[in-house]
Structures are given as structure tokens and as C-alpha cells.
Amino acid sequence: MNESSLFFEVDYYQINKSGMSVAGDVFLSTRSDDGSIVTVLADGLGSGIKANVLATLTAKMASVFVLNSMDIRKSAEIIIDTLPVCSERKIGYSTFTVARIEPDGNAYIIEYDNPGFVFLSNNGAEKISYERIDIKSSPVKKNFINYYSLHLERGNRLVFFSDGVTQSGMGCASTPLGWGSANTGEYIEKLVRSDPGIGAGKLSRSIVAQALAHDIYKAHDDITCEVICCREPRKLLLATGPSMHSDKDREMSERIRDFKGCRIICGGTTSQIVSRELDVEVEVDISKISRDIPPKSVMKGIDLVTEGILTLCRIAELLESGKFRNSDESNAATEAIALMMNNDIIYFLVGTRINEAHQDPSMPREIEIRRNIIKKIIYNLENKYLKKTELQFI
Amino acid sequence: MKKTRITICTGTACYVLGGANLLELEDFLSDEMKSRIEITGSACLGMCKAASNDSKPPYVKIDDEVIHSATIQKIIAYLSER
């Protein structure tokens, strides 16, 4: 893996409009075969299911068109013409922002009626010039699309948000017309200045939390924020499972010790092997217990030590559903996910010895073979969370 | 007086077969019992690999003695006899 190349960390956070079970804002991110990243943030007309359908259609179409390098004007026209028409308002409408970022840092952004995105370099927020493209498809209103083309470098950030952010607090004495784009931009700049290493996850969560506070903790609209950080890739090593051959125990332990980055060990036996080989104590921490996931352990020099299969299965499940974002769940699995989200390249060092005790038919069927779970985790990390991964069996 | 050490296995097999509940042991003990024991967790004790019909997870060690198919009641019964 070329480690000097640029890495783009993508994450988002979202809160539904108060009382709505689904969001009318939809965020999608995909990586194309050539390594480009395409993200879409769409906000459907209205709220709830209807808006969700509009936004999902828009996001999906936009990402497919952009992935296939279709002409922007044409794509936008097709999207606008295809959307189902709202029974009350007689228009089919969804705003969207599509970003395509190529591996060398060239970025192309199309913005249709969403609040303007914020571009941050090391010197703070910067204005980006754009081209205003007229698309004549709508019978109802004049339509313009903003088209940006820029080059991203290490340390740059792009922050996209729906109008739920800029219009938060509307009608309140302090913000009669809502938070506004300018104030939102200033707030983002301040956040980044006070924490220059802030990742996409934390930044998007902080912005959404602030917008929600303006709405006095009852969102008046869906609040969504997406952040893309271009940065030196952060690395994480996840070691799990004892090696098939015990003469590799030493090698595995040393590779964990010598790894430069964040380290996780998943597996009771694995942690005991590392503890024995490196002569570091490992101790189970039973101060915090969860019904579903065994407690974590503490080992000096290792960021997180957990049980193996159950925790990995839960990690796979949470990554698949994405539910770790808006949940109060707190256990070894969610801690591991938090570390994964905060890192960019994730190395898996997987021992393949089978634990015979797990093959007992009285065990729950969720207990799977380690290799299979790791495969699922890797699939989701790569495709849903746009992480880079590397897998090695030992 | 030396405290009795109770080691609860938190390995996968023990955990799914009832070990998860054992971690709440302390909530079920009288103050007198609490004062004379010490509870710790442990990674897999390795005993599940030799499990048989007469010896099943979850395992708990009370000092050096192993209790199989451990339940909170079983541990309390054991402690009251000591």
C-alpha cells in the first residue's frame, strides 16, 4: 500500500426531525474502481418517508451518474425529471450536493440548492470560486447548479450540511432567521482551530450537536453534516486469534509491539499469548459490564483488549447496520468501532487456529469462524466506511 | 484474614453459557460475604476445551477450586459453607 498517498476520511452524523422515524436527508458514500470517492448528501422535499424516498432516489442516481462520469448537466436534469411529484406541492424536488474526489486530490463538487459547503485549509475557511450552470428542466422554477473544481491537499477539510444546520434555531430570539451559513462557517472554523487534529466523525457530530442545541434539543428539520478530511493516514492494527502454529506466537507478539499506530487485540487467548511473550500483564476490567459483550481487559501499550468472537460478531453487526452512530450502547465492541472510525488504514493480523470449545452445538449459532467474521468486517469497512484495509493470516 | 478470590471466566464459551450473569455476583452478596471476598475477571481459563457432560461452562475459580456450570446461587452456597 502506498502510504505517502493522500487519504480521505469520510464520515457523517445525522439527527432526524423530531418525531420522525426516518430522515428526509440521505447520505451516501462509495468508492469507485479507480479509487475515487463519491459522496452525496440529498435533502428531500418535506420530511419523513416521503422526503426519504425523494432523497434516496436522488442520492442513488447522483452517485451512479457521477461514478460513471456522466455529464453533470445531463445527470441533474435526469434526476429532477425522474423524481416523483409531491401530492401536496405538485413538484418533485430534492436538493443535493455531490462530491467526487480522485485519488490524486482533484475534487469536483456539484451543489443544487443545498447550503454552500465549507472548505477549510490550514489557514482556515477559504472561498472557492464556482461556475453557475443553468439547467432548464423544471417547469416551476429556474434551476441553477453550482459547479466547483478544486485540488485537495493534506490538512484540507470539506464540510457539507443540510439546511437543518443553517436554519437551526429559526424563530428563536437569538437567531430569528436561523443559525445562517456565515455563523455556521465561523463555528466550524473555531472548532478546527481549537482541535487541529479533529477527525470527520467528531467534527460532524459537534456541528450537528450545536445545531440541535439551537433547536432547543428538538430538531425542527433533519440535521445532517458530512465531513471529508484529507490527511496523513492513521493506522490501526487489529490482531485476533492464536496462530495455527504456536512457534509463530513470538512473531505475532512482536509485530503487535512494533506496530506504529493504534493497537487492538480481540481474543482472550490471543491476549494471554501476547502477555506471555512480551511479559506484560493483562487484566480483565470488570468495572463496566454489558449483558451481551464480555468486558474488555487492560494491557500496557495496547489501546484496547477485548474478548474474541462475540465482540467481533457485534462489531460486524454494528458496522453492517451503522447503528453505532445514534446509540447509547457502550461496550468493548463500540469502543473498538470508535477506534476504527478514527483511523484510516486498518491492518488485520488474524490467527486461524479453531477454538474447539466453540464448535459445541450448544453454543449460540452467532458464534462463527473467525475468518468469516473478519471478511464481513473488512467488506463493510471498505465499502461503507471507505477505509483501507489489509489482511494477513498468521 | 486473607480474602477468598473469586475468578470469573469471561472467555467466549463461559460468557454465552451464563458467565455474563455471574459478573453481577457482588449485587447478590451480603455485606459480610462481600467483606471476605475479592472478585476478578479472567480471560479464558482454558477449561472449556476439556468440557464434558459432567463439567460444563461457565467456570468460576474460588481460590484454586474450580466450579463448573456456575450460577450465582451455586457460588453463594459454596461461600456460605466456607
Tell me if B13 and A360 make a contact (CB, 8 A cut-off). yes
Does residue A313 sit within a domain?
yes
As given in the structure block, the three cell numbers for residue B82 are: 466456607
- Do residues A227 and A161 make contact, with C-beta atoms less than 8 angstroms apart? no
Domain boundary, last residue among A176, A207, A231 = A231
Residues pairing with A145 in the sheet: A133
Q: Cα(A369)–Cα(A367) distance, rounded to whole angstroms?
A: 7
pLDDT of res. A137 = 60
Structural domain includes residue A288: yes
From the list B15, B39, B46, the residue facing A294 with the nearest CB is B15
Stated as kind and residue range, the H or E segment containing A372 is helix A370-383
Same-domain pairing of A254 and A323: yes
Hey, are the CB atoms on B43 and A364 less than 8 Å from each other?
Answer: no
Length reported for chain B: 82
DSSP state of A338: H
Averaged pLDDT, groups of 10, chain A, 394 residues long: 72 94 93 89 89 92 89 79 75 87 92 93 92 74 85 95 94 89 95 93 95 94 95 94 92 95 94 95 89 92 94 95 88 95 95 83 77 94 93 93
Q: Is the same domain home to A240 and A227?
A: no
If asked whether residues A241 and A386 sit together in one domain, one would say yes
Q: Which residues have a Cβ under 8 Å from the Cβ of B32 and sit 6 or more positions away?
A: none
Chain B positions in Cβ-Cβ contact with residue A356 (cut-off 8 Å): 49
Residues A145 and A65 reside in one and the same domain: yes
Laid out side by side, the sheet with A118-121 consists of A7-15, A223-231, A157-161, A118-121, A124-126
Q: What DSSP string describes A219-239? A: -SS-EEEEEEEEEPPPEEEEE
Q: Distance (Å, rounded) from C-alpha A101 to C-alpha A122?
A: 19
Please name each of the domains of chain B with its CATH number: 4-81 (3.40.30.10)
Residues A219 and A180 in one domain: yes
Q: What is the ipTM of this complex?
A: 0.72
B10·A268 Cβ contact <8 A: yes
Which residues 317-356 of chain A have a CB within 8 Å of chain B?
Answer: 355-356
Query: Range of A253's domain?
Result: 235-393
Asked, for residue A283, whether it belongs to a domain, the answer is yes
Task: Give the Cα separation of B19 and A160 in Å (integer).
Answer: 46
Residue B26 contacts A where some CB pair is shorter than 8 Å: no
Tell whether the torsion through CA atoms of A9, A15, A21 and A24 is positive or negative.
negative
- Residue linked to cell 503487535: A256
* Residues of chain B with C-beta less than 8 angstroms from the C-beta of A309: 12
**Which of B24, B43, B48 is closest, CB to CB, to A297?**
B43
pLDDT of residue A139: 61
Residues in A touching B20 (Cβ below 8 Å): 289, 291-292, 294
Of B8, B20, B41, the CB nearest to A291: B20
List the single residue in A with minimal CA-CA distance to B42: A284
d(CA A351, CA A48): 46
Question: Exposed e or buried b for every residue in A356-382, given b needs 16+ CB within 10 A?
Answer: ebbeeeebeeebbebeebbbbbbebbe
pLDDT of residue A3: 45
B12 and A356 within 8 Å at the Cβ level: the answer is: no
pTM (predicted TM-score): 0.80
Q: How many CB pairs under 8 A join A and B?
A: 73
User: Is A241 near chain B, with CB under 8 Å?
Assistant: no
**Amino acid (one-letter) located at A373:** I
Measured CA to CA in angstroms, residue A96 lies from A93, A105, A144, A205 at distances of 10, 22, 12, 20
Whether B77 contacts chain A with CB within 8 A: no
Give the CA angle between residues A213, A26, A342 to the nearest 5°. 70
CA dihedral A87, A91, A97, A98 (to 10 degrees): 90
Beta bridge partners of B73: none
Does residue A256 share a domain with residue A131?
no
Which chain B residue shows the shortest CA-CA distance from A294? B10
A49, A265 Cβ separation under 8 angstroms: no
Residue A333, min C-alpha distance to chain B (Å): 14
Touching B: A residues 138-157, CB under 8 Å: none
Q: Is A360 on the interface with B (CB under 8 A)?
A: yes
**CB pair distance less than 8 Å for B20 and A285:** no
Tally of domains within chain A = 2
Q: Is residue A323 part of a domain?
A: yes
CB-based contact, B54 to chain A, within 8 Å: no
Contacts of A367 (CB under 8 A, 6+ apart): A309, A310, A313, A358, B12, B16
What's the mean per-residue pLDDT of chain B? Answer: 89
All residues of chain A having their beta carbon less than 8 Å from the beta carbon of residue B8 are 286
Residue located via cell numbers 420530511? A47
Tell me if A2 is assigned to some domain.
no
Q: Express the helix, strand and coil content of chain B in percent, nearest 5 each.
A: 40, 25, 35
Q: A78 and A48, same structural domain?
A: yes
Same-domain check for residues A205 and A82: yes
Nearest CB partner across the interface for B41, out of A286, A355, A360? A286
The alpha-carbon gap from B80 to the nearest alpha carbon of chain A, in Å, equals 24
d(CA A382, CA A121): 26
**Residue owning grid cell 442513488:** A60
- For position A224, what pLDDT does the model report? 96
